[in-house]
Amino acid sequence: METSIKRIALVTGASRGIGQAIAVALAAGGCHVVVNFLKNEAEAQETLASIQKAGGSGELSPFDVADTAACEAAIERLIAAHRRIDILVNNAGIRQDALLVFMKPEQWSEVLATNLNGFYNLAKPVVKQMALQRWGRIVSVASTAGQTGVEGQANYAAAKAGVIGASKALAREVAKRGVTVNVLAPGFIETDMTSDLLREQMLARIPAGRFGKPEEVAAAAAFLCTDAAAYITGAVLNINGGVYT
């Protein structure tokens, strides 16, 4: 980071994939990174080890982003410990794919609870503190699915489109307070979440001819969290190899 102050960054769903790569990138840039996870502590410890290997510092913070009370308690603990949270990266997400005609109510509600409600559950308590200190960065990881729609992912697409809309609205609300709110919209990225996709079929749809890497998404996230990105807010940055432009 450009400042001598060690920024405090919370990254949700940071035990693997894109979240892990973002956590490591922020740590390499000088942040103290709070690694959120829900169940897999072993993988979260691996993220923490990678942070330390990159010369950074961090800590683990297990809680469910879909649980409003748990999020409020976690934010309260972190602010009590560090006096502030400077950066929030909303990355935690789940998929439960099915054609809408066959989609069970819980498949709809659980995906929205994590992927969309999680934004509200964390952004609300965090942004108040950011506004008071007149500096903050909120970056949410959405998806190309939220821009174009994907068959079999009505729940996921709805949640990610909601994150985009909510981020644009919040960006307007807090722009004068030195807080930026932006969205990353990755396409097909090499992660566990995309491992079950029909690879050859997907590759045929990508002009760049390959899947993206978590580190490529992380580089964009890290930049949006810097002072250099202070005039970028309400933006949706496509990281998709040309799938959607």
CB 162 within 8 A of CB 101: no
Distance of alpha carbon 109 from alpha carbon 195, whole angstroms: 23
- Structure tokens of 79? 């602010």
Distance of alpha carbon 142 from alpha carbon 167, whole angstroms: 10
Q: Is 156 a residue of the active site?
A: yes
Nearest to 214 by CA among 198, 237, 233, 193: 193
CB 169 within 8 A of CB 223: no
Q: What string of H, E and C letters represents the secondary structure of 53-65?
A: HCCCEEEEEECCC
For the annotated catalytic residues, the residue numbers are 156
